[in-house]
Structure formats: structure tokens, C-alpha cells
Structure 1
Amino acid sequence: MTEALCFALDGVLVHRTRSDAEILRDVFTSHAIEPTEARLATARASFRRAFDALEPEPYRQSMAAVVDAADSDTDPAELVATLREETYAATTVPGAARESLSGLAETSALAVIANGPREWQVGKLDRHGLTDSFDAVVASYDAGAHRPDTAPFDRLRERVSADEYVMVGDGDDVSGARAAGFVPIEYRTDGPDLWATIDALL
């Protein structure tokens, strides 16, 4: 029986070392914009509105809203570039994940299902040299809906043929996977070691 083993990206494969607020404060400061709480809130709200509606360039819309609120002449694209670099720099991949993926690739097709614009999410994999570890990467913007909608899972089925599909993630990942007919493996930061559990199960 062929198997496709799918992973959520943020919080499962790639872990954050700094909060969104810390990153945004550094981004604003580096462009001479005072990082007030109101501007942080503007950035988050503008991003969430655009992201939820699957509007193009949600990060640019977020930074443009901050530029307007601060009455700054900074090019929003420059803020986005800094935000992207600071966000990627604040990520890490557990050593156990790299070792486990190498072994799992010998027996299963590997894939990523991630919420977000494709370029931004694939960039995280590129940053850590993981892109070639996967047979497919599906971003919610590709599928026209964010998890827990089943559309990203359906798109993955179109990309990778298998008898059984397994999804490793948490929250919306698990509920969406179950609704799409995937076998869910729930990841909890306070639970047993994820990679040891996957190795034992598979």
C-alpha cells in the first residue's frame, strides 16, 4: 500500500524562535517607524483581513496600512522584504525532523500542506534546505481556501497519488484532515516527542 505522509509547516516542521510582536517591532524600528502598540495592531488586523479573504499580497497590504498609519514615506515593499528576512531568520528546524524525514522518504511520499501564499511558505523550506525533501507542497492560496477547509487536502490528492494519506499537524490541520478522509496525527507541544512517535507509528 502506498502512503503519502503530509505535514503542516509552521509549528511542526518549522518552529519559531521569536514572537510576531518582536519581529514587527524590529522591522518598524529598522525603517524609522515607531513600533507603537496601535501600529502593531494595525499590521495584524490588516494582514488578517487580507489573508482570510485570500487577497493578493497580504503582507504588503499589512505593511502599507502601517505606512499610512505612521504617515511614513517608506516603500511598503521594503518593509515586506525586511519582514520576510526577519521572519525566516526567526525559524529553526529540529534536528530530529531532518533525520526522520530522511528515513520516511524511503517508504512514503512526503508533502507539505500549509496555510499562506505559496512563495512565502516555500521560502521557509528553501531557507532550511528542505524543499527537495518533499514530493509536493500545497499552499492554501493555491487551493483557494485555508485549512480546515478540505480544499488544500483535495489539491494534495491531485498532486500525489497514494492509497492512504496521513496528515501531521494540530488544531485546524487535524479537523481538516479528518473531514478530507486523511488519517490525522495530532502534534502537541506538551505531548510526546513528535518525530519519535511518527517513527514508531510508521
Structure 2
Amino acid sequence: MTTALCFDLDGTLVHRTESHETVTRATLDAHGFDATDALVKTAEETFRAAQRDLEPNPFERSMRAVLDETGEDGDPEAMVEALRERAYATTEVPDAARESLSALGEDDALGVVTNGTREWQVGKLEHHGLLDHFDAVVTSYEAGAHKPDSAPFDLLRERLSADEYVMVGDDYEADVEGARAAGFVSIHYEDGDDGNGPDLWATIDALL
């Protein structure tokens, strides 16, 4: 029996060392803005609303909202690139995850099912040297809906043929309940896991 083992990206494979808000604030500081709490809130809320509604270029919309609010001149594309660089640089992949992915990929098909834009999320995998581990990567923007909607899971099935599908993720509603409703076996990456120990990955190895 063939198994497709699928992972959430943020908070499961890749872990932040700085919050999204901290990354946003540092980016605004670096571009000469007075990064007040109110301005950071504008950027963050604009991004979240745009991504929630699957609007194109949510990060650019966020930076344009900053420019609109401050009345300053600026290059939103350059601001987004600076945001991306810092966001990628302030994430890490647990050693145990890298080791297990290499081993798991020998016997099982591996996939990623993640909320976000394809460019941003695939870029994150490339930054960390993870992309080649995976046979398929599905983002919510491609699927037309965010997890826990079944659309991302259904699209993964179209791209990766298997007899059984397993989903590993840290968000209980999106990754566990959503996957289960879509017919996947689900494994919850508990919030208490620091990702550096062997427990989660050893459990996955044992289950498969």
C-alpha cells in the first residue's frame, strides 16, 4: 500500500524565531518609517484580511497600506522583498525534521499542504533546502480556499496518487479536523513540542 505523508509548513516543518509582527516592525524600521504599534497593526491587519480573502499579493497590499497611511513615498515591492528576506531568515527547521524527511522519503511519497501564496511558501521551502524532499506542494491560493476547507487536500490528491493520505500539522482545526474531514489520517503536532527532539518524528516513523 502506498502512503502519501503530508505536512503543514509554518509551525510544523518550519518554525519562527521571531513573530510575524516583529518581522513587520523591523522591515518598517529598516525603510525609515516610525514603526508605531498603530502602523504595525495596519500592516498586519491588512495582510491578514487580504490573505483571508485570497486577494492577490497580500504582502504588497500590506506595504501599500503603510504608504497610504503615512503619506510617504516608497517602493512596496522592495519593502516586500525586505520583509521576505527577514521572514525567511528568522525561521528554522529542526534537525530531527531534516533527518526524518530524508528517511521517510525513501519509502513514502511526501507532500506539503499549506495556507498562503505559492511563491512565498515554495520560496520558504527552497530557502531551507527542503523543496527536493517533496513530491507535491499545494497552497491554499492554488486551491481557492484555505484549510480547513477540503479544497487544498483534494488538490493534493490530484497531484499525488496514493492508497492512504496522512496529514501532520500544528493547527488542530486546519490540519487535524480539516484533514480528517477530507479523508486523511491526521497527526497533531502539539504546540508544546519544541521540534528539536525525536518524539514527533519517531512517532511518525513508527506509525508508518
Interval containing the TM-score (normalised by the shorter chain): over 0.9
Residue 191 of structure 2 aligns to which amino acid in structure 1? Answer: T
Q: Please identify runs of 4+ aligned residues in structure 1 that moved more than 2 A.
A: none
- 1:193 is displaced (CA, Å) by 2.5
Distance 2:48 2:14 in 1: 21
Aligned to 1:19: 19
Aligned to 1:108: 108
Distance 1:124 1:77 in 2: 18
> What does 1:122-137 correspond to in 2, within 5 Å?
122-137=122-137
- 1:22 is displaced (CA, Å) by 1.5
Residue 146 of structure 1 aligns to which amino acid in structure 2? Answer: H
- 1:5 is displaced (CA, Å) by 0.2
CA RMSD of aligned residues (A): 1.0
- 1:189 is displaced (CA, Å) by 2.8
Distance 1:114 1:98 in 2: 18
- 1:21 is displaced (CA, Å) by 1.9
Aligned to 1:201: 207
- 1:163 is displaced (CA, Å) by 0.4
Q: 5+ unaligned residues in a row in structure 1: which ranges? A: none
Distance 1:105 1:3 in 2: 11
Residue 139 of structure 2 aligns to which amino acid in structure 1? Answer: A
Distance 2:155 2:37 in 1: 39
Aligned to 2:186: 184
2:167 match: secondary structure: strand
TM-score where L is the length of structure 2: 0.95
Whether 2:81 is the aligned partner of 1:81: answer: yes
- 1:71 is displaced (CA, Å) by 1.4
Distance 1:129 1:111 in 2: 15
Whether 2:176 is the aligned partner of 1:158: answer: no
- 1:24 is displaced (CA, Å) by 1.2
1:60 match: secondary structure: helix
More displaced stretch, 84-93 vs 187-196: 187-196
Aligned to 1:38: 38
More displaced stretch, 44-53 vs 130-139: 44-53
Aligned to 2:71: 71
1:72 match: secondary structure: coil
- The answer to whether the Cα contact below 8 Å between 2:44 and 2:62 also exists between their aligned partners in 1 is yes
More displaced stretch, 68-77 vs 81-90: 68-77
- The answer to whether the Cα contact below 8 Å between 2:21 and 2:44 also exists between their aligned partners in 1 is no
Aligned residues: 202
Distance 1:196 1:18 in 2: 27
Residue 43 of structure 1 aligns to which amino acid in structure 2? Answer: A
Distance 2:199 2:37 in 1: 36
Aligned to 2:9: 9
Amino-acid identity (%): 62
Distance 2:14 2:7 in 1: 10
Residue 111 of structure 2 aligns to which amino acid in structure 1? Answer: A
- 1:84 is displaced (CA, Å) by 0.3
2:183 match: secondary structure: coil
TM-score where L is the length of structure 1: 0.97
Residue 108 of structure 2 aligns to which amino acid in structure 1? Answer: S
- 1:119 is displaced (CA, Å) by 0.4
